[in-house]
Amino acid sequence: MTAPADLIDRIPADHLPALLAAMPKAELHMHIEGSLEPEMIFALAARNGVALPYASVDALRRAYAFTDLQSFLDIYYQGASVLLHEQDFYDTAQAYLARAATDNVVHAEIFFDPQTHTARGVPMGTVIRGLSRACAEAPQKHGLSATLILCFLRHLSEREAFETLETALPFREHFIGVGLDSSEVGHPPEKFARVFARCRELGFRIVAHAGEEGPPDYIWQALDVLKAERIDHGVQAVHDAVLMRRLGAGRVPLTVCPLSNQKLRVFPDLADHNLKALLDAGLCATVNADDPAYFGGYVNDNLRAVAAATGLTARHAYQLAANSFEASFADAAAKARWREQLDACFERFNR
């Protein structure tokens, strides 16, 4: 912690919501397909002549009553069906980046699921070029940096993941890492051991969803088999004391998504969320939006909701922002600059 602890502790509790909104932060767990708001889904459907099984924006939004991860994914993939052309991917990324800037996100590492699109006949280059063009324009247009992480769908086979990787390699300069997402239970990380070994050989950064609905063993596999540098979600780690010690000692980041966890019934009552316990145990936990259009909030909405429900303090807020910079794949100079901005923000709230 750079800012003096006594300075942070003097910030009045009623300033916390405004502080959470104002402080600079990195977002490290956000699926671009999950940022498609119902209004944009309908607009793109009309532009591309795609028929939707919903009569209106409101009818689609009412369908967001999920009981678990799979019930969400069924609608998620349906929503993504409107993305057909490079401009669609560009527009989607631009909409997210503009929204992230209003939440004082200074850096975003954005997940994308190419198999969701290539399975529908959309070329890999169409997906990556559209998203990459928006990311390249982000500093000038929105005042933040943005990079891409390609995710393999774990409910599909390792062979299909290899095929996706090979198809993406001609565009490798446009994404910095690879991840693993989609249906967790029944699809352990070790299923993809060889493809992640190949990705490491190629120099990609490695992340993986683990320990959202799946057991702590999936987190162990992500660390030991895939060699993941970050664990996406990871909230089930609290059920394994040895794992908690490893995560803390190694400063292995956890990209936690509170509203997603609530919406998917991992923590039906947000007051029961274990984010505070993760932070108090010294883990490098961060807060992110996951699929904000579906789960009811962007990163600041997540921060405010979990802080109010679990009693987070200004010190927790500072740690979350600092953790997000530490956990990012940005260079040291950018991280140092963001920490200075974070300190300045907390000093302003202490006046």
Binding site for Zn(2+): what residues are annotated?
29, 31, 209, 290
d(CA 310, CA 76): 29
Question: Which residues belong to the annotated binding site for substrate?
Answer: 291
The one catalytic residue among 212, 229, 340, 347: 212
| CB of 72 closer than 8 Å to CB of 294 | yes
Question: Which residues belong to the annotated binding site?
Answer: 29, 31, 209, 290-291
Q: What b/e string do you get for 262-287 counting C-beta neighbours within 10 Å, with b at 16 or more?
A: bbbebbeebeebbbbebbebebbbbb
- Please state the three-class secondary structure of the chain as a single string: CCCCHHHHHCCCHHHHHHHHHHCCEEEEEEEHHHHCCHHHHHHHHHHHCCCCCCCCHHHHHHCCCCCCHHHHHHHHHHHHCCCCCHHHHHHHHHHHHHHHHHCCEEEEEEEECHHHHHCCCCCHHHHHHHHHHHHHHHHHHHCCEEEEEEEEECCCCHHHHHHHHHHHHHHHHHCCEEEEECCCCCCCHHHHHHHHHHHHHCCCEEEEEECCCCCHHHHHHHHHCCCCCEEEECHHHHHCHHHHHHHHHCCCCEEECHHHHHHCCCCCCHHHCCHHHHHHCCCCEEECCECHHHHCCCHHHHHHHHHHHHCCCHHHHHHHHHHHHHHCCCCHHHHHHHHHHHHHHHHHHCC
Q: What are phi and psi of 217, to 5 degrees?
A: -60, -30
Catalytic residue list contains 212 = yes
- For residue 252, give every residue at least 6 positions away whose Cβ sits within 8 Å of its Cβ, in sequence order, or none: 223, 229, 230, 231, 246, 283, 284
Positions marked active-site: 212
